[in-house]
Amino acid sequence: MAVSDPFHLAIQVRDIDEARRFYGDFMGCPEGRSSDSWVDFNLYGHQFVCHLNPALKDNPVSSHKNPVDGHGVPVPHFGIVLEMAAWNALADKLRSHGVEFEIEPYVRFKGEPGEQATMFFYDPSGNALEFKAFKDRETQLFKKA
């Protein structure tokens, strides 16, 4: 996927090899440059970097939970807005591999403007991820309610 203005995001992880297995092998993100203490990934066209923080081995990243639509949404979180078919494929893959969801895949605002699919889960270091898709991404992604 080509992105005209890719973002750069750096997060902390408890183990670089574990991050490679999760983001590289499992999530399918191609690996870029790396060292013993960090690794770059191509996360859907964005530069995503995992930096080693050994202190996380005993204390995973923790999130605050903010109430949204009757769910506890972990904050902070990050992710990608996918096309609906790609979102469905990812949800199926995560389910088939037994990934535990913080918020199971579901559709918000069904049949309304802003209809979107969303799911939340954690990486092995405790970083919260949200992947979502809009029924009409081009007109709804940044539209106010």
Domains present along the chain, CATH in parentheses: 8-57 (3.10.180.10), 64-140 (3.10.180.10)
Residues 51-75: tens digit of each pLDDT: 999 999 888 777 789 988 889 999 9
Q: Each residue of 76-134: pLDDT tens digit? A: 999 999 999 999 999 999 999 999 999 999 999 888 888 899 999 999 999 999 999 99
Residue 1 has pLDDT above 60, yes or no: no
> Which whole-number Å values give the CA distances from 89 to 27, 125, 134, in the listed order?
12, 24, 15
Question: Could you give phi then psi for residue 47, rounded to 5 degrees?
Answer: -85, 115
Q: Which pTM does this prediction carry? A: 0.89
